[in-house]
Amino acid sequence: MPVTSPHRSRRAAAQSTAAPESTKGPSHARALGGRTALRSIGLVATALFAFVSVGAASAYSTLQGNIKTAQIDDLLGERPEEQEPTDPNAGKAMNILVLGSDFRGGENTDFAVEGVEGMRSDTTLLVHVSADRSRVEMLSIPRDSRVDIPSCTATNGKTTAPVNDRFNAAFAQGYDLGGDLESAAACAVKTVESLTDVRINDFVVVDFTGFQNMVDAIDGVPICIPVDIDSPKADHLKLSAGKQTLDGKTALSYARARTGQGLGDGSDLGRIARQQELLAATVRQVLSKNLLTDAQGLFQFLEAGTSSLTMSEEIASIPHLAGVAYSLRGLSGGNITFMTVPIADDPLNPRATVVWTPEADEIWDRLRADEPITGEPAEPEEAAAPPSGGAGSVESDDSTGASEGASDDSTEPTTGSTDEPSPRETKEAGKEAFTPDDITAECG
Protein backbone atom coordinates (compact mmCIF):
# COMPACT_ATOMS: atom_id res chain seq x y z
CA MET A 1 0.00 0.00 0.00
CA PRO A 2 1.58 3.31 -0.97
CA VAL A 3 2.30 5.71 1.85
CA THR A 4 2.03 9.45 1.85
CA SER A 5 4.34 11.80 3.65
CA PRO A 6 2.80 13.42 6.76
CA HIS A 7 -0.70 14.33 5.72
CA ARG A 8 -0.82 17.82 4.24
CA SER A 9 -3.65 20.31 4.18
CA ARG A 10 -5.96 19.86 1.20
CA ARG A 11 -6.25 23.62 1.03
CA ALA A 12 -3.35 25.56 -0.42
CA ALA A 13 -2.16 26.92 2.95
CA ALA A 14 -3.49 27.69 6.39
CA GLN A 15 -5.11 31.10 6.15
CA SER A 16 -4.32 33.80 8.66
CA THR A 17 -7.32 35.79 9.80
CA ALA A 18 -7.73 38.65 12.21
CA ALA A 19 -8.50 37.41 15.67
CA PRO A 20 -12.21 37.70 16.35
CA GLU A 21 -13.68 38.98 19.54
CA SER A 22 -13.91 36.36 22.24
CA THR A 23 -17.26 34.61 22.05
CA LYS A 24 -17.01 32.37 25.07
CA GLY A 25 -20.20 30.62 25.92
CA PRO A 26 -21.14 27.84 28.25
CA SER A 27 -19.18 24.71 27.53
CA HIS A 28 -19.76 21.05 28.09
CA ALA A 29 -22.08 18.39 26.72
CA ARG A 30 -21.43 15.01 25.34
CA ALA A 31 -22.54 12.49 22.76
CA LEU A 32 -21.62 8.92 22.17
CA GLY A 33 -20.99 8.11 18.59
CA GLY A 34 -20.71 4.51 17.72
CA ARG A 35 -21.71 2.66 14.71
CA THR A 36 -25.02 1.32 15.66
CA ALA A 37 -25.41 4.45 17.68
CA LEU A 38 -27.47 6.57 15.35
CA ARG A 39 -29.88 3.74 14.71
CA SER A 40 -30.58 3.37 18.39
CA ILE A 41 -30.51 7.11 18.91
CA GLY A 42 -33.23 7.27 16.28
CA LEU A 43 -35.37 4.94 18.35
CA VAL A 44 -34.64 6.64 21.63
CA ALA A 45 -35.22 10.07 20.14
CA THR A 46 -38.51 8.89 18.67
CA ALA A 47 -39.54 8.06 22.20
CA LEU A 48 -38.26 11.43 23.34
CA PHE A 49 -40.32 13.09 20.62
CA ALA A 50 -43.45 11.44 22.02
CA PHE A 51 -42.27 11.97 25.56
CA VAL A 52 -42.03 15.72 25.02
CA SER A 53 -45.17 16.04 22.96
CA VAL A 54 -47.45 14.55 25.62
CA GLY A 55 -46.67 17.37 27.98
CA ALA A 56 -43.62 16.26 29.94
CA ALA A 57 -42.56 19.88 30.24
CA SER A 58 -40.58 19.43 33.43
CA ALA A 59 -38.53 16.56 32.03
CA TYR A 60 -38.01 18.43 28.77
CA SER A 61 -36.75 21.48 30.65
CA THR A 62 -34.31 19.32 32.63
CA LEU A 63 -32.90 17.59 29.56
CA GLN A 64 -32.58 20.79 27.54
CA GLY A 65 -30.92 22.50 30.48
CA ASN A 66 -28.36 19.72 30.69
CA ILE A 67 -27.00 20.39 27.20
CA LYS A 68 -24.33 23.05 27.12
CA THR A 69 -23.47 24.76 23.87
CA ALA A 70 -20.37 26.18 22.27
CA GLN A 71 -20.24 28.62 19.33
CA ILE A 72 -16.99 28.26 17.34
CA ASP A 73 -17.85 29.56 13.84
CA ASP A 74 -15.97 32.80 14.38
CA LEU A 75 -12.78 30.84 15.18
CA LEU A 76 -12.65 28.77 11.99
CA GLY A 77 -11.74 31.34 9.32
CA GLU A 78 -12.13 30.28 5.67
CA ARG A 79 -13.92 26.94 5.39
CA PRO A 80 -14.90 24.31 2.78
CA GLU A 81 -18.16 25.07 1.00
CA GLU A 82 -21.34 23.37 2.10
CA GLN A 83 -22.51 20.79 -0.40
CA GLU A 84 -26.00 21.49 -1.68
CA PRO A 85 -28.19 18.42 -2.27
CA THR A 86 -28.63 17.32 -5.89
CA ASP A 87 -32.32 16.84 -5.23
CA PRO A 88 -33.72 20.16 -3.95
CA ASN A 89 -36.42 18.23 -2.11
CA ALA A 90 -33.91 16.05 -0.25
CA GLY A 91 -32.33 16.80 3.06
CA LYS A 92 -28.71 17.81 3.50
CA ALA A 93 -25.97 15.39 4.36
CA MET A 94 -24.53 15.96 7.84
CA ASN A 95 -20.94 15.65 9.05
CA ILE A 96 -20.60 15.63 12.84
CA LEU A 97 -17.25 15.52 14.61
CA VAL A 98 -17.51 13.55 17.86
CA LEU A 99 -14.64 14.15 20.29
CA GLY A 100 -14.01 12.13 23.44
CA SER A 101 -12.66 14.52 26.05
CA ASP A 102 -10.59 13.45 29.03
CA PHE A 103 -10.81 16.80 30.82
CA ARG A 104 -9.04 16.39 34.16
CA GLY A 105 -11.19 18.78 36.20
CA GLY A 106 -14.58 18.72 37.90
CA GLU A 107 -16.28 15.34 38.15
CA ASN A 108 -13.61 13.82 35.90
CA THR A 109 -10.84 14.28 38.49
CA ASP A 110 -11.12 10.66 39.61
CA PHE A 111 -10.29 9.54 36.07
CA ALA A 112 -7.24 11.76 35.65
CA VAL A 113 -3.86 10.35 34.73
CA GLU A 114 -1.32 11.42 37.32
CA GLY A 115 0.94 14.16 36.03
CA VAL A 116 -1.31 15.02 33.07
CA GLU A 117 -3.35 18.21 33.25
CA GLY A 118 -5.71 20.16 31.01
CA MET A 119 -7.96 18.71 28.32
CA ARG A 120 -7.04 16.02 25.82
CA SER A 121 -8.96 14.05 23.19
CA ASP A 122 -7.82 10.53 22.39
CA THR A 123 -11.00 9.51 20.57
CA THR A 124 -12.36 11.17 17.42
CA LEU A 125 -15.20 10.01 15.18
CA LEU A 126 -16.35 11.71 11.99
CA VAL A 127 -20.03 10.75 11.66
CA HIS A 128 -21.60 11.15 8.22
CA VAL A 129 -25.38 11.02 7.83
CA SER A 130 -26.48 10.77 4.21
CA ALA A 131 -28.89 13.35 2.81
CA ASP A 132 -31.58 10.72 2.19
CA ARG A 133 -31.03 9.32 5.74
CA SER A 134 -30.42 5.83 4.33
CA ARG A 135 -26.83 5.58 5.60
CA VAL A 136 -24.77 6.45 8.66
CA GLU A 137 -20.99 6.12 8.52
CA MET A 138 -18.68 6.47 11.50
CA LEU A 139 -15.05 7.04 10.66
CA SER A 140 -12.47 6.78 13.44
CA ILE A 141 -9.45 9.09 13.19
CA PRO A 142 -6.40 7.60 14.99
CA ARG A 143 -5.01 10.02 17.53
CA ASP A 144 -1.42 9.10 16.58
CA SER A 145 -1.82 10.18 12.95
CA ARG A 146 1.00 12.59 12.03
CA VAL A 147 -0.68 15.48 10.24
CA ASP A 148 -0.36 19.18 9.47
CA ILE A 149 -2.26 21.19 12.09
CA PRO A 150 -3.11 24.69 10.82
CA SER A 151 -2.89 27.91 12.77
CA CYS A 152 -5.80 28.02 15.23
CA THR A 153 -7.51 30.99 16.86
CA ALA A 154 -8.67 30.78 20.49
CA THR A 155 -11.55 32.64 22.10
CA ASN A 156 -9.08 35.04 23.72
CA GLY A 157 -7.85 36.14 20.28
CA LYS A 158 -4.49 34.39 20.49
CA THR A 159 -3.33 32.17 17.63
CA THR A 160 -1.09 29.13 17.36
CA ALA A 161 1.58 28.53 14.75
CA PRO A 162 1.02 25.78 12.15
CA VAL A 163 2.69 22.56 13.26
CA ASN A 164 3.25 19.01 12.04
CA ASP A 165 2.25 16.81 14.98
CA ARG A 166 -0.05 14.03 16.15
CA PHE A 167 -3.69 14.61 15.31
CA ASN A 168 -4.82 14.82 18.94
CA ALA A 169 -2.43 17.73 19.53
CA ALA A 170 -4.93 20.01 17.75
CA PHE A 171 -7.56 19.67 20.49
CA ALA A 172 -4.94 19.92 23.24
CA GLN A 173 -3.19 23.02 21.92
CA GLY A 174 -6.52 24.76 21.38
CA TYR A 175 -7.40 24.20 25.00
CA ASP A 176 -3.94 25.10 26.28
CA LEU A 177 -4.05 28.39 24.37
CA GLY A 178 -7.63 29.44 25.07
CA GLY A 179 -8.34 27.63 28.32
CA ASP A 180 -11.81 26.55 27.23
CA LEU A 181 -13.60 23.84 25.31
CA GLU A 182 -14.59 26.20 22.48
CA SER A 183 -10.95 26.80 21.60
CA ALA A 184 -10.16 23.08 21.79
CA ALA A 185 -13.09 22.01 19.60
CA ALA A 186 -12.48 24.80 17.10
CA CYS A 187 -8.88 23.71 16.51
CA ALA A 188 -9.92 20.07 16.09
CA VAL A 189 -12.67 21.00 13.62
CA LYS A 190 -10.37 23.35 11.69
CA THR A 191 -7.71 20.65 11.47
CA VAL A 192 -10.15 18.07 10.09
CA GLU A 193 -11.52 20.53 7.54
CA SER A 194 -8.01 21.56 6.50
CA LEU A 195 -6.89 17.96 6.00
CA THR A 196 -10.00 16.65 4.27
CA ASP A 197 -11.79 19.62 2.67
CA VAL A 198 -14.95 18.15 4.20
CA ARG A 199 -17.13 20.72 5.94
CA ILE A 200 -18.01 19.81 9.53
CA ASN A 201 -21.60 20.87 10.20
CA ASP A 202 -21.65 20.21 13.93
CA PHE A 203 -19.54 18.84 16.76
CA VAL A 204 -20.18 16.97 20.00
CA VAL A 205 -17.75 16.61 22.92
CA VAL A 206 -18.13 13.65 25.30
CA ASP A 207 -16.51 13.36 28.72
CA PHE A 208 -15.66 10.47 31.06
CA THR A 209 -18.38 10.93 33.65
CA GLY A 210 -21.30 11.05 31.26
CA PHE A 211 -20.31 7.84 29.50
CA GLN A 212 -20.10 5.99 32.81
CA ASN A 213 -23.48 7.32 33.90
CA MET A 214 -25.13 6.33 30.61
CA VAL A 215 -23.93 2.73 30.96
CA ASP A 216 -25.15 2.56 34.56
CA ALA A 217 -28.51 4.01 33.50
CA ILE A 218 -29.11 0.95 31.27
CA ASP A 219 -27.92 -1.54 33.93
CA GLY A 220 -24.61 -2.23 32.23
CA VAL A 221 -23.54 -3.45 28.79
CA PRO A 222 -23.34 -7.16 27.83
CA ILE A 223 -20.28 -7.74 25.65
CA CYS A 224 -18.04 -10.55 24.44
CA ILE A 225 -14.51 -10.52 25.85
CA PRO A 226 -12.48 -12.84 23.56
CA VAL A 227 -9.47 -13.26 25.91
CA ASP A 228 -8.54 -12.54 29.52
CA ILE A 229 -7.63 -8.88 30.09
CA ASP A 230 -5.40 -7.39 32.78
CA SER A 231 -4.58 -3.70 32.35
CA PRO A 232 -3.08 -2.06 35.47
CA LYS A 233 -2.92 1.36 33.76
CA ALA A 234 -6.66 1.32 33.00
CA ASP A 235 -7.75 1.61 36.63
CA HIS A 236 -6.54 -1.99 37.25
CA LEU A 237 -9.01 -3.43 34.75
CA LYS A 238 -9.36 -7.23 34.97
CA LEU A 239 -11.81 -9.19 32.81
CA SER A 240 -12.16 -12.91 32.16
CA ALA A 241 -12.76 -14.25 28.67
CA GLY A 242 -16.40 -14.86 27.82
CA LYS A 243 -19.67 -12.96 28.01
CA GLN A 244 -19.52 -10.17 30.55
CA THR A 245 -21.86 -7.38 31.60
CA LEU A 246 -19.81 -4.24 32.21
CA ASP A 247 -21.00 -1.57 34.63
CA GLY A 248 -20.25 2.07 33.90
CA LYS A 249 -16.87 2.20 35.65
CA THR A 250 -15.66 -1.04 34.05
CA ALA A 251 -16.95 -0.05 30.60
CA LEU A 252 -15.07 3.24 30.85
CA SER A 253 -11.85 1.44 31.83
CA TYR A 254 -12.34 -0.96 28.92
CA ALA A 255 -12.83 1.93 26.50
CA ARG A 256 -9.68 3.65 27.74
CA ALA A 257 -7.47 0.55 28.07
CA ARG A 258 -4.52 0.43 25.73
CA THR A 259 -1.76 -1.67 27.28
CA GLY A 260 -1.69 -4.90 29.27
CA GLN A 261 -2.49 -8.59 28.95
CA GLY A 262 -5.04 -9.39 26.25
CA LEU A 263 -4.87 -5.95 24.61
CA GLY A 264 -2.64 -6.81 21.67
CA ASP A 265 0.29 -4.59 20.80
CA GLY A 266 -0.96 -1.64 22.84
CA SER A 267 -1.60 0.47 19.75
CA ASP A 268 -4.25 3.13 19.36
CA LEU A 269 -5.73 1.04 16.54
CA GLY A 270 -6.49 -1.80 18.95
CA ARG A 271 -8.20 0.58 21.34
CA ILE A 272 -10.26 2.05 18.50
CA ALA A 273 -11.51 -1.44 17.64
CA ARG A 274 -12.59 -2.12 21.23
CA GLN A 275 -14.30 1.24 21.49
CA GLN A 276 -16.27 0.59 18.32
CA GLU A 277 -17.40 -2.80 19.63
CA LEU A 278 -18.34 -1.33 23.00
CA LEU A 279 -20.46 1.38 21.41
CA ALA A 280 -22.28 -1.20 19.32
CA ALA A 281 -22.95 -3.30 22.42
CA THR A 282 -24.26 -0.23 24.26
CA VAL A 283 -26.74 0.45 21.48
CA ARG A 284 -27.96 -3.14 21.48
CA GLN A 285 -28.58 -2.89 25.21
CA VAL A 286 -30.57 0.32 24.76
CA LEU A 287 -32.74 -1.41 22.16
CA SER A 288 -33.19 -4.61 24.15
CA LYS A 289 -34.42 -2.74 27.22
CA ASN A 290 -37.28 -1.25 25.21
CA LEU A 291 -36.86 2.23 26.63
CA LEU A 292 -39.68 3.41 24.38
CA THR A 293 -42.21 2.09 26.90
CA ASP A 294 -40.23 2.84 30.06
CA ALA A 295 -40.61 6.56 30.73
CA GLN A 296 -38.49 6.54 33.89
CA GLY A 297 -35.73 4.47 32.30
CA LEU A 298 -35.78 6.64 29.20
CA PHE A 299 -35.49 9.81 31.25
CA GLN A 300 -32.59 8.42 33.32
CA PHE A 301 -30.69 7.39 30.20
CA LEU A 302 -31.28 10.70 28.41
CA GLU A 303 -30.44 12.71 31.51
CA ALA A 304 -27.14 10.83 31.85
CA GLY A 305 -26.36 11.39 28.18
CA THR A 306 -27.32 15.04 27.82
CA SER A 307 -25.59 16.08 31.06
CA SER A 308 -22.28 14.95 29.60
CA LEU A 309 -22.43 16.65 26.21
CA THR A 310 -21.12 19.89 24.83
CA MET A 311 -22.54 20.55 21.38
CA SER A 312 -22.43 23.16 18.68
CA GLU A 313 -25.34 25.59 18.96
CA GLU A 314 -26.94 24.43 15.71
CA ILE A 315 -27.90 20.99 17.04
CA ALA A 316 -28.03 21.55 20.78
CA SER A 317 -31.80 21.55 21.15
CA ILE A 318 -33.92 18.59 22.10
CA PRO A 319 -36.46 19.15 19.27
CA HIS A 320 -33.65 19.38 16.69
CA LEU A 321 -31.95 16.23 17.94
CA ALA A 322 -35.26 14.39 18.05
CA GLY A 323 -36.09 15.52 14.53
CA VAL A 324 -32.79 14.30 13.09
CA ALA A 325 -33.03 11.02 14.95
CA TYR A 326 -36.66 10.52 13.95
CA SER A 327 -35.65 10.83 10.29
CA LEU A 328 -33.31 7.86 10.85
CA ARG A 329 -35.94 5.63 12.45
CA GLY A 330 -36.07 3.20 9.51
CA LEU A 331 -32.30 2.78 9.19
CA SER A 332 -31.15 -0.85 9.02
CA GLY A 333 -28.05 -2.20 10.74
CA GLY A 334 -26.53 -3.15 7.40
CA ASN A 335 -26.41 0.50 6.37
CA ILE A 336 -24.50 1.68 9.44
CA THR A 337 -20.78 1.44 8.73
CA PHE A 338 -17.81 1.68 11.10
CA MET A 339 -14.43 2.30 9.57
CA THR A 340 -11.00 3.65 10.47
CA VAL A 341 -9.04 6.11 8.31
CA PRO A 342 -6.65 4.00 6.17
CA ILE A 343 -3.17 4.26 7.68
CA ALA A 344 0.37 2.91 7.47
CA ASP A 345 3.37 3.14 9.77
CA ASP A 346 5.03 6.54 9.73
CA PRO A 347 8.39 6.22 7.89
CA LEU A 348 9.88 8.80 10.26
CA ASN A 349 8.72 7.12 13.46
CA PRO A 350 7.10 3.76 12.70
CA ARG A 351 6.88 2.68 16.34
CA ALA A 352 4.98 5.75 17.54
CA THR A 353 2.97 7.40 14.77
CA VAL A 354 1.08 6.58 11.58
CA VAL A 355 0.32 8.41 8.34
CA TRP A 356 -2.78 8.35 6.16
CA THR A 357 -2.51 6.44 2.89
CA PRO A 358 -3.86 7.65 -0.49
CA GLU A 359 -7.00 5.60 0.16
CA ALA A 360 -7.92 8.20 2.78
CA ASP A 361 -8.26 10.84 0.03
CA GLU A 362 -10.77 8.59 -1.72
CA ILE A 363 -12.85 8.48 1.45
CA TRP A 364 -12.89 12.28 1.74
CA ASP A 365 -13.99 12.52 -1.90
CA ARG A 366 -16.87 10.12 -1.19
CA LEU A 367 -17.93 12.01 1.91
CA ARG A 368 -18.09 15.28 -0.02
CA ALA A 369 -20.13 13.56 -2.75
CA ASP A 370 -22.38 11.88 -0.13
CA GLU A 371 -21.45 8.43 -1.42
CA PRO A 372 -20.85 5.28 0.68
CA ILE A 373 -17.35 5.51 2.14
CA THR A 374 -16.60 1.87 1.29
CA GLY A 375 -17.15 2.55 -2.40
CA GLU A 376 -19.92 -0.05 -2.41
CA PRO A 377 -23.62 0.73 -2.79
CA ALA A 378 -25.69 0.76 0.38
CA GLU A 379 -27.92 -2.23 1.07
CA PRO A 380 -31.48 -1.73 -0.19
CA GLU A 381 -33.91 -0.95 2.57
CA GLU A 382 -36.41 -3.68 3.33
CA ALA A 383 -40.06 -2.84 2.94
CA ALA A 384 -40.70 -3.30 6.62
CA ALA A 385 -42.09 -1.17 9.38
CA PRO A 386 -39.56 0.91 11.33
CA PRO A 387 -38.10 -0.95 14.31
CA SER A 388 -40.17 -0.74 17.44
CA GLY A 389 -37.25 -0.47 19.83
CA GLY A 390 -38.01 -3.76 21.52
CA ALA A 391 -35.71 -6.69 21.90
CA GLY A 392 -36.98 -8.09 18.66
CA SER A 393 -35.36 -5.27 16.71
CA VAL A 394 -31.85 -6.34 17.65
CA GLU A 395 -30.30 -8.32 14.80
CA SER A 396 -27.47 -9.95 16.73
CA ASP A 397 -27.04 -11.12 20.29
CA ASP A 398 -25.97 -8.92 23.16
CA SER A 399 -22.28 -9.70 22.89
CA THR A 400 -21.20 -6.98 20.48
CA GLY A 401 -21.64 -8.83 17.27
CA ALA A 402 -20.01 -11.91 18.77
CA SER A 403 -20.30 -15.49 17.65
CA GLU A 404 -20.76 -17.81 20.60
CA GLY A 405 -20.51 -21.20 18.97
CA ALA A 406 -24.22 -21.97 19.33
CA SER A 407 -26.71 -21.58 16.52
CA ASP A 408 -29.01 -18.62 16.72
CA ASP A 409 -32.69 -19.18 15.90
CA SER A 410 -32.45 -16.49 13.24
CA THR A 411 -29.91 -18.56 11.31
CA GLU A 412 -31.83 -21.85 11.35
CA PRO A 413 -33.10 -23.00 7.93
CA THR A 414 -36.84 -22.77 7.41
CA THR A 415 -38.95 -25.84 8.03
CA GLY A 416 -38.49 -28.38 5.28
CA SER A 417 -35.33 -26.78 3.94
CA THR A 418 -32.22 -28.91 3.48
CA ASP A 419 -29.93 -25.94 3.01
CA GLU A 420 -27.28 -25.34 5.64
CA PRO A 421 -27.04 -21.75 6.93
CA SER A 422 -24.07 -20.05 5.34
CA PRO A 423 -21.25 -19.23 7.79
CA ARG A 424 -20.91 -15.57 8.74
CA GLU A 425 -17.55 -13.96 8.10
CA THR A 426 -15.79 -12.43 11.10
CA LYS A 427 -14.72 -8.84 10.48
CA GLU A 428 -11.71 -7.30 12.21
CA ALA A 429 -12.88 -4.14 13.93
CA GLY A 430 -10.44 -1.25 13.60
CA LYS A 431 -8.95 -2.62 10.38
CA GLU A 432 -11.97 -3.50 8.26
CA ALA A 433 -15.18 -1.66 7.56
CA PHE A 434 -18.07 -3.44 9.24
CA THR A 435 -21.70 -3.01 10.22
CA PRO A 436 -23.62 -3.98 13.36
CA ASP A 437 -24.85 -7.04 11.47
CA ASP A 438 -21.29 -8.39 11.22
CA ILE A 439 -19.50 -10.63 13.72
CA THR A 440 -16.44 -8.96 15.19
CA ALA A 441 -15.47 -11.35 18.01
CA GLU A 442 -15.58 -15.06 18.83
CA CYS A 443 -16.87 -15.73 22.31
CA GLY A 444 -17.21 -19.28 23.59
Query: Residue 222 — very low, low, confident or very high, per pLDDT cuts 50/70/90?
Result: very high
Supply the pLDDT for residue 246: 96
Residue 10: pLDDT above 60?
A: no
What is the CATH classification number for the domain harbouring 62?
3.30.420.590
Lowest-pLDDT range of 46-50, 63-67, 263-267, 436-440: 46-50
Residue 247 falls inside a structural domain: no
Residue 171 falls inside a structural domain: yes
Q: Which residues, 6 or more positions from 344, have their beta carbon under 8 angstroms from its beta carbon?
A: 1, 3, 354, 355, 357
Residue 127: pLDDT above 90?
A: yes
Higher pLDDT pick, 107 / 63: 63
Supply the pLDDT for residue 343: 95
The closest alpha carbon to 187, from 151, 158, 140, belongs to: 151
- Which range has the top average pLDDT, 80-94, 205-219, 305-319, 386-400? 205-219
Higher pLDDT pick, 435 / 222: 222
Which amino acid, one-letter code, is at 130?
A: S
- The string over 10-25, giving b where at least 16 C-beta atoms fall within 10 Å of a residue's C-beta and e elsewhere, is ebeebeeeeeeeeebe
Supply the pLDDT for residue 262: 93
Q: How far is CA 432 from CA 139, 148, 275, 335, in A?
A: 11, 26, 14, 15
Residue 154: pLDDT above 90?
A: yes
Residue 17 falls inside a structural domain: no
Mean pLDDT of 111-125: 65
Classified as helix, coil or strand, 396 is coil
Give the separation between CA 96 and CA 204, rounded to whole angstroms.
7
Give the separation between CA 160 and CA 177, rounded to whole angstroms.
8
Query: Residue 175 — very low, low, confident or very high, per pLDDT cuts 50/70/90?
Result: very high
* pLDDT mean across residues, the chain: 74
Give the separation between CA 142 and CA 272, rounded to whole angstroms.
8
Supply the pLDDT for residue 45: 46
Residue 249: pLDDT above 80?
A: yes
Supply the pLDDT for residue 329: 74
Give the separation between CA 277 and CA 429, rounded to whole angstroms.
7
Residue 312: pLDDT above 60?
A: yes
Query: Residue 8 — very low, low, confident or very high, per pLDDT cuts 50/70/90?
Result: low
Higher pLDDT pick, 278 / 69: 278
Number of Cβ atoms within 10 Å of the Cβ of 218: 18
Lowest-pLDDT range of 71-75, 97-101, 192-196, 251-255: 71-75
Give the separation between CA 386 and CA 393, rounded to whole angstroms.
9
Residue 90: pLDDT above 50?
A: no
Residue 98 falls inside a structural domain: yes
Q: How many residues does the chain have?
A: 444
Query: pLDDT over 90 for what percent of the chain?
Result: 36
Q: Which residues, 6 or more positions from 173, have their beta carbon under 8 angstroms from its beta carbon?
A: 149, 152, 160, 163, 187
Q: How far is CA 402 from the centre of its chain?
A: 20
- Provide the domain count of the chain: 1
Residue 370 backbone dihedrals phi, psi, to 5 degrees:
60, 45
Query: pLDDT over 70 for what percent of the chain?
Result: 66
Q: Which residues, 6 or more positions from 371, have their beta carbon under 8 angstroms from its beta carbon?
A: none
Higher pLDDT pick, 137 / 27: 137
Q: How far is CA 318 from CA 47, 283, 306, 443, in A?
A: 12, 20, 9, 38
Mean pLDDT of 144-150: 97
Residue 300: pLDDT above 80?
A: no
Mean pLDDT of 50-65: 53
Residue 77: pLDDT above 60?
A: yes
> Tell me: the pLDDT tens digits for 22-36?
334 333 333 333 444
Residue 341: pLDDT above 50?
A: yes
Residue 95 backbone dihedrals phi, psi, to 5 degrees:
-120, 115
Residue 58: pLDDT above 90?
A: no
Q: How far is CA 104 from the centre of its chain?
A: 21
Give the separation between CA 107 and CA 205, rounded to whole angstroms.
15
Residue 417 falls inside a structural domain: no
Q: What angle do CA 424, 378, 330 make, to 5 degrees?
A: 95
Give the separation between CA 269 and CA 319, rounded to whole angstroms.
36
Residue 187: pLDDT above 80?
A: yes
Cβ pair 330, 39 in contact under 8 A? no
Q: Which residues, 6 or more positions from 404, have their beta carbon under 8 angstroms from its beta carbon?
A: 224, 243, 397, 443, 444
Residue 404: pLDDT above 90?
A: no
Residue 254 falls inside a structural domain: no
- The string over 233-251, giving b where at least 16 C-beta atoms fall within 10 Å of a residue's C-beta and e elsewhere, is ebeebebeeebbebebebb
Give the separation between CA 370 and CA 383, rounded to whole angstroms.
23
pTM score of the predicted model: 0.73
DSSP readout, 300-320?
HHHHHHHTTEEEETTT-SHHH
Provide the residue range defining the domain that includes 328: 37-219+287-398
Residue 103 falls inside a structural domain: yes
Q: Which residues, 6 or more positions from 11, have their beta carbon under 8 angstroms from its beta carbon?
A: 78, 194, 197
As beta bridge partners, residue 207 has: 101
Residue 6: pLDDT above 90?
A: no
Residue 117: pLDDT above 90?
A: no
Higher pLDDT pick, 291 / 261: 261
* H/E element, 178: helix 169-178
Residue 317 falls inside a structural domain: yes
Higher pLDDT pick, 34 / 297: 297
> Tell me: the pLDDT tens digits for 345-400?
999 999 999 999 999 999 999 999 999 999 876 655 544 344 444 333 334 444 45
